[in-house]
């Protein structure tokens, strides 16, 4: 009976966490460059139940009754790094990073490319959000004033917004400044750690390879365009309803167990 409590409760917790993940996806469906999270739900190891036979005080042997599931849990969430739709904005500071040929590793269907960003602590991070701006000093920034970096991991400083960006990522300012936009390449993007605000970091002690140094990688930078979120809102809403109903089913099961325990304590105890 108590095992039933734990099984139902674990199902409720797993579906609650899945709903929270889907709600976050839906909330970021209009965030440029956002990559939708996917959940991986697994079951705990099953228990094999056996019955010990006894006749005239002598144990005859064991017989298998069957397996008992001990519940489920959400093992992890991983971003889906598919290309989002490209939307034209006509803003010179908006840059869309378009994957053309981005190979993955042996176990991955495809790799991914990222802008290189410097966070508030001066560390290199990666992002797909190309909704950039120029700050008061002319630095090209992403999000909350984070510096966009060139291929040498230096901030990009321009004289004004009258700059051009080639399809290969070469930035040319009106005063003659020239920078090569830093583009990081990962053949296994699922290994990146999500930090929030559209930023990712490479596994501890590593940095992503410069995409320009890999002859198999090809991409295009489109100035005046932005990459939209890859969240499928219709599917996300359907998945949220499914998770909610699964939560409700586990809740009713838990209530049934609770009622049975109440009867066992109040009625059987009287006998």
Pairing relation of β-strands 218-223 and 225-227?
A: unpaired
Residue 252 token pair: 């009713």
Task: Tell me the pLDDT tens digit for each residue of 161-213.
Answer: 999 999 999 999 999 999 999 999 999 998 899 888 889 999 887 899 999 99
DSSP 238: H
Residue 151 token pair: 């291929």
Among 241, 189, 250, 226, CA closest to 23: 241
Report the C-alpha gap between 56 and 123 in whole angstroms. 75
DSSP 255: H
pLDDT classification of 54: cutoffs 50, 70, 90: low
Could you tell me the sign of the dihedral formed by the alpha carbons of 122, 125, 129, 130, in that order?
positive
pLDDT classification of 72: cutoffs 50, 70, 90: confident
Report the C-alpha gap between 190 and 40 in whole angstroms. 13
72: enclosing H helix or E strand: strand 72-79
Task: Tell me the pLDDT tens digit for each residue of 153-173.
Answer: 999 999 999 999 999 999 999
Which of 44-53, 77-86, 163-172, 218-227 shows the lowest mean pLDDT across its residues?
Answer: 44-53
DSSP 181: B
Report the C-alpha gap between 183 and 126 in whole angstroms. 9
């Amino acid at each position: 009976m108590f095992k039933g409590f734990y099984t139902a409760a674990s199902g409720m917790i797993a579906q609650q966490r899945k709903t929270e993940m889907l709600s976050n996806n839906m909330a970021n469906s209009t965030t440029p460059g956002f990559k939708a999270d996917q959940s991986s739900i697994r079951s705990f190891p099953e228990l094999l139940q056996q019955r010990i036979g006894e006749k005239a005080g002598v144990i005859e042997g064991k017989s298998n009754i069957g397996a008992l599931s001990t519940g489920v849990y959400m093992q992890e969430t991983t971003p889906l790094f598919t290309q989002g739709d490209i939307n034209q904005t006509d803003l010179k500071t908006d840059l869309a990073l378009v994957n053309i040929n981005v190979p993955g590793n042996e176990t991955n269907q495809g790799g991914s490319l990222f802008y290189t960003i410097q966070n508030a602590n001066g560390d290199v991070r990666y992002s797909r959000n190309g909704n950039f701006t120029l700050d008061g000093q002319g630095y090209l920034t992403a999000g909350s004033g984070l510096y966009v970096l060139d291929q040498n991991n230096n901030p990009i400083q321009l004289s004004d917004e009258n700059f051009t960006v080639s399809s290969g990522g070469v930035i040319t300012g009106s005063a003659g400044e020239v920078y090569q936009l830093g583009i990081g390449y990962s053949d296994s993007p699922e290994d990146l750690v999500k930090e929030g605000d559209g930023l990712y970091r490479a596994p501890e002690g590593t940095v992503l390879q410069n995409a320009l140094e890999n002859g198999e990688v090809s991409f295009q930078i489109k100035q005046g365009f932005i990459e939209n979120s890859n969240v499928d809102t219709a599917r996300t809403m359907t998945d949220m309803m499914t998770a909610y109903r699964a939560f409700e089913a586990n809740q009713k099961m838990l209530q049934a167990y609770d009622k049975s325990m109440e009867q066992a304590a109040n009625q059987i105890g009287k006998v």
